[in-house]
Chains A and B, each alone.
Chain A
Amino acid sequence: MAINKEIIDYVATLARLQLSEEEQEAMVAEIGKVVNYFDQLKELDTAQVNAMDYLVVNENVFEDILRDDVTGTSFAREELLHPDEDRSAAFFTVPKVVE
């Protein structure tokens, strides 16, 4: 699959990244090289292979994973706020989302 400017643009939009003209050109070349390299996996016969093999599945969810419903560590709000936020804020401040 040949990488071109349109594909890089599309992927950058998905990844919420903004590239300059030079960065875009560089990415087309470099990403193109790497994807070409990835293409060699086509040679592997994986028709009968289940991608989920070797994943350890714990079936005893309630016994093994869910803990008792007791209060654990709590954090003071100021510790969790972004350093640029007003320390007395109760929310994270972002630009307007809903028009």
Chain B
Amino acid sequence: MELHELAISELSALIRNREICVPELTRHLLDRIEKLEPKLHCYITVTSEKAMQKARRVQAGIDAGTLSSPLAGIPMAYKDNICTRGVLTTCGSRMLGNFVPPYDASVVHRLDRHGVVPLGKLNMDEFAMGSSTETSYYHQTRNPWDVERVPGGSSGGSAAAVTAGEAVFTLGSDTGGSIRQPASFCGCVGLKPTYGLVSRFGLVAYASSLDQIGPLAKTVRDCALVLNAIAGRDPLDQTTVDVPRQDYTQALTGEIKGLVIGLPRQFVDESVAADVREAVLAAAKVFTDLGAECREIDLPIMEYVVPTYYIIALAEASSNLARYDGVKFGYRVPDPKDMIDFCKRSRSEGFGSEVKKRILLGTYVLSSGYYDAYYKKALQARVLITRAFNKAFEECDVLMGPVAPTTAYKIGEKINDPLTMYMEDIFTVPVNLARLPGISLPCGFDRNHLPIGLQLIGKPFGEATILNAAYAFEQNTGFPKQRPNLKGR
């Protein structure tokens, strides 16, 4: 096996046993990035020099015995909406094409202390608004399984980089599915933590009551290792919750006898592609064979999750993106007539059309006369959705289903039909609305040999349970081990 095909613990062992050194491993990944980027475009910025400098420093720390984390020396990358001090952070937008943050996001700071080696910043849908990485101002990331297809979004670069071996693990962000769906389309593991488990300080905000940062990696254990490093109360983010620290890898026993897994009827109905539905039902059988109990449940509220999500997310986005006025940072028009013109034109030229549309929609649902019918109604609907999921968790430990109704579609196929794209977020958005943890892991391939993602949803702060269930599935099936054939590309 080549170095870029190995998981975190395997590489960590090689580093600790002095079989490879960190600069050598980093060089290997950088070479791979150089080779594959012309085709895949996972990255917006590659920071080769910084990476090699960090690699040497980390190796020195390992040699001196001061760095012993399992993540020490592991080359990784950040989605480009996570602030990295001194490194361009564009959010996939022209608006932040010149934005170099003067500070690191809290997750960056934490991973830095563990000795990771950042390789660069990953491509994404503009301001995280999209499900295919087609709205990036910079380029189109391609799915490593079929380069004519989308990698999913908005963390498309994060997922594609893991699958293609251009990073050992990555961080993405998930507001309505943006970690889980690209993980599903690209065939890697992606975890959205419970709202409040991981700090959002330094994450460029899209929808503040829905956003969460999370890991994408080749294995469930890798995700657990990264979660260990980034989870926990942060005084710089007052929405983080003070839950007792735990080692999520300790939960990975593979033992799931007696686990009750609910499969909502609405997750496997005719709206789901046949191949996807079959794979999910086959996964239910795997769980049953391992001693879990899978039972069908009913979640009629699912009919309303997509409009509820989009009203709330877009309302919050319109507020969060109001800060982009060209004054303190970001794109500025050169010859403004006056302040209003300065603001309007900077925003209109800096933002792409999907972002503008979402800002307009968000402004509309918050405006006087429409606020009650849309925004307030959606907040109330969110309460009903949360209640319905909490009720499901009275009889179930975990819920399962597909991540998305389809596998990766062709680039350009759906971008002109945004409403259809919005509706395909149906299985991921309720997890953000109800503030629950959700993990996506590969569970099969469709007839075009494209990955299918299985989603496991847990109770609030139930990451250990879903990680273990995912681990049990992974250890008893071959799907997560398959890699796309990128030889000769």
Interface set of A (CB-CB < 8 Å, partner B): 1, 7-8, 10-12, 14-19, 23, 26-27, 30-31, 33-35, 37-38, 40-44, 46, 49-54, 56, 65, 67, 73, 75, 79-80, 82-84, 92, 94-97
Kindly provide the distance from the CB of A60 to the nearest chain B CB, expressed in whole angstroms: 11
Find out whether the CB atom of A31 lies under 8 angstroms from the CB atom of B327. no
- Known contacts: A51-B376, A82-B332. The answer to whether A14 contacts B307 by CB under 8 A is no
Q: Taking each of A37, A65, A96, which has the highest tally of chain B beta carbons within 10 Å of its own beta carbon?
A: A37
Stretch at the interface among B62-70, B351-359, B451-459: B351-359
Give the complex CA separation of A95 and B346 in angstroms. 13
Name A13's closest neighbour in chain B (CB-CB).
B344
Kindly provide the distance from the CB of B193 to the nearest chain A CB, expressed in whole angstroms: 16
In-complex Cβ contact of A82 among B196, B328, B380, B419 (8 A):
B328
Find out whether the CB atom of B304 lies under 8 angstroms from the CB atom of A17. no
Find out whether the CB atom of A17 lies under 8 angstroms from the CB atom of B347. yes
**20 intermolecular pairs with C-beta atoms under 8 Å apart:** A14-B367, A15-B318, A16-B325, A16-B344, A19-B348, A23-B353, A27-B356, A30-B418, A31-B361, A37-B306, A38-B311, A40-B303, A40-B304, A44-B304, A54-B382, A82-B328, A82-B329, A82-B332, A83-B100, A94-B339
- Known contacts: A34-B419, A41-B381, A44-B384. The answer to whether A11 contacts B329 by CB under 8 A is no
Kindly provide the distance from the CB of A3 to the nearest chain B CB, expressed in whole angstroms: 8
Docked complex: B341-395 residues within 8 A CB-CB of A: 341-345, 347-348, 351, 353, 356-357, 359-361, 363-365, 367, 370, 373-374, 376-384, 386
Kindly provide the distance from the CB of A64 to the nearest chain B CB, expressed in whole angstroms: 8
Kindly provide the distance from the CB of B231 to the nearest chain A CB, expressed in whole angstroms: 17
Give the complex CA separation of A81 and B373 in angstroms. 41
B244 beta carbon closer than 8 Å to chain A: no
Give the complex CA separation of A23 and B348 in angstroms. 11
B47 beta carbon closer than 8 Å to chain A: no
Give the complex CA separation of A80 and B99 in angstroms. 10
Kindly provide the distance from the CB of A97 to the nearest chain B CB, expressed in whole angstroms: 5
Interface set of B (CB-CB < 8 Å, partner A): 98, 100, 102-103, 196, 235, 238, 241, 303-304, 306-308, 310-311, 318, 322, 325, 327-330, 332, 336-345, 347-348, 351, 353, 356-357, 359-361, 363-365, 367, 370, 373-374, 376-384, 386, 418-419, 422, 435
- By secondary structure, the B interface counts as helix
Give the complex CA separation of A15 and B311 in angstroms. 16
Name A99's closest neighbour in chain B (CB-CB).
B338
In-complex Cβ contact of A83 among B98, B241, B359 (8 A):
B98
Find out whether the CB atom of A96 lies under 8 angstroms from the CB atom of B360. no
B332 CB contacts on chain A under 8 angstroms: 82, 84
Kindly provide the distance from the CB of B76 to the nearest chain A CB, expressed in whole angstroms: 25
Give the complex CA separation of A38 and B378 in angstroms. 9
Kindly provide the distance from the CB of B321 to the nearest chain A CB, expressed in whole angstroms: 9
- Known contacts: A23-B353, A82-B328. The answer to whether A16 contacts B98 by CB under 8 A is no
A51 CB contacts on chain B under 8 angstroms: 376, 379-380, 382-383
Find out whether the CB atom of A15 lies under 8 angstroms from the CB atom of B310. no
B383 CB contacts on chain A under 8 angstroms: 49-51, 53-54
In order of increasing CB-CB distance, the 4 nearest A-B pairs are A46-B380, A51-B379, A79-B102, A49-B380
Kindly provide the distance from the CB of B241 to the nearest chain A CB, expressed in whole angstroms: 7
B435 CB contacts on chain A under 8 angstroms: 54
Find out whether the CB atom of B363 lies under 8 angstroms from the CB atom of A11. yes
Find out whether the CB atom of A27 lies under 8 angstroms from the CB atom of B357. yes
In-complex Cβ contact of A7 among B356, B364, B381 (8 A):
B364
In-complex Cβ contact of A49 among B340, B343, B361, B384 (8 A):
B384
In-complex Cβ contact of B377 among A41, A92, A95, A97 (8 A):
A41
Since A38-B374, A51-B380 are in contact, a sample of 9 more A-B pairs with Cβ atoms closer than 8 Å, ordered by chain A residue number, is: A1-B370, A17-B351, A18-B348, A27-B356, A30-B418, A34-B419, A41-B308, A94-B339, A95-B336
